[in-house]
Amino acid sequence: MSITRFSKKRILVTGGAGFIGSHLCERLLDKGHEVICADNFYTSRKANIAHLIHNPYFELMRHDITFPLYVEVDEIYNLAAPASPIHYQLDPVQTVKTIVHGAINVLGLAKRLKARILQASTSEVYGDPHVHPQTEDYWGNTNPIGPRSCYDEGKRCAETLFFDYFRQHQVDIKVVRIFNTYGPRMHPDDGRVVSNFVLQALFGKDITIYGDGSQTRSFCYVDDMVEGLMAMMDTPAGTTGPVNLGNPQETPILALAEKIVEMTKTKAGIVFAPLPENDPARRRPDTTKARQLLNWQAATDLDTGLSRTIQYFSELAGQE
């Protein structure tokens, strides 16, 4: 009988106090690892990690990743970046600095430590895609000078840096492209469609559809996303990605609104507002590569994920 010894790692999660990051920190601690969370709380709330603070294996570092950081770790998940259009457009220059300078700093750290490093990239690198669904070899259709560019071009540049550090300095990189993710601890005020619709429904306010609601997104529940991130981190050295992570079930925004109306039994109506500039018409990941390489696929259906999210926001609304 072979005895496999669990190896406890020390893991840095930048942006670990955020929506996805806080769930990731929690899962890594559950698995017995030590976690250092580096976050400047630019778009997150301390409440997201309040329940972890007294865990002896959890360490919180208030740190802005546009500045160098010196810690000793085995693995790095780089999630720090404002992620919603409202947040990343508040201060676009800071968004680029966080994404690009931040990538340089964590890559420099990984290079010094010979640590494995995973970049949370985004479906936005595909821009308003001409190829549907998006496979990883599609180069995308982005606008370098538009209002979303600080984020999508920033993330494209960060991917470039990851692959240059891999080719030039042999850094053990992993790149995943995250598609729309939702669940408990989404920001109530970051304008994302799921949080907006759920809160509008709970407060009986009109549900605001931008455009005619025919545009689609594919929504992945946060627990599934975290499993995907960890599965990618555990692939052999040299498996760099990029790999799409998301739920391939495509939903028109109007259908999402109708589902949330039905699930919350709200009396709120549905109203239509102008579509923001450069808002992609369709988005759905091709997750073949994730299934093959990681043996991973999103397991939570939209009804189950939405009901947990509605529960979270109902409790949050009750506290305020």
Give me the residues that bind ligand NAD (CB under 6 A), please.
Answer: 14-15, 17-21, 39-44, 64-66, 79-83, 98, 102, 120, 122, 178, 180-181
User: Which of ligand UDP, ligand NAD, none binds 195 (CB below 5-8 Å, type-dependent)?
Assistant: none
Closest CA to 150 of 191, 94, 198: 94
Contact between residue 170 and residue 116 where contact means Cβ atoms under 8 Å apart: no
Q: Which is nearer to ligand UDP, 33 or 148 (CB)?
A: 148
Sign of CA dihedral 40, 227, 28, 75: negative
Q: Which two tokens stand for residue 7?
A: 């190896």
Q: Which of 193, 226, 261, 294 binds ligand UDP (CB under 6 A)?
A: 193
Q: Which is nearer to ligand NAD, 126 or 166 (CB)?
A: 126
Q: Which of 29, 210, 293, 308 binds ligand UDP (CB under 6 A)?
A: 210
Residue closest to ligand NAD, measured at CB: 18
Is 69 a binding residue for ligand UDP by CB under 6 A? The answer is yes
Contact between residue 239 and residue 293 where contact means Cβ atoms under 8 Å apart: yes
List the end-to-end C-alpha distance of the chain, in Å, as a whole number: 55
Contact between residue 172 and residue 116 where contact means Cβ atoms under 8 Å apart: yes
Q: Output the smallest distance, CB 166 to ligand NAD, in A.
A: 19
Is 109 a binding residue for ligand UDP by CB under 6 A? The answer is yes
Contact flags string 170-189 toward ligand UDP, x per CB under 6 A: ----------x---------
Q: Look at residue 182 and give its three-state secondary structure.
A: strand
Residues labelled as active-site residues: 151
- Distance, in Å, from the CA atom of 68 to the CA atom of 102, rounded to the nearest integer, reads 8
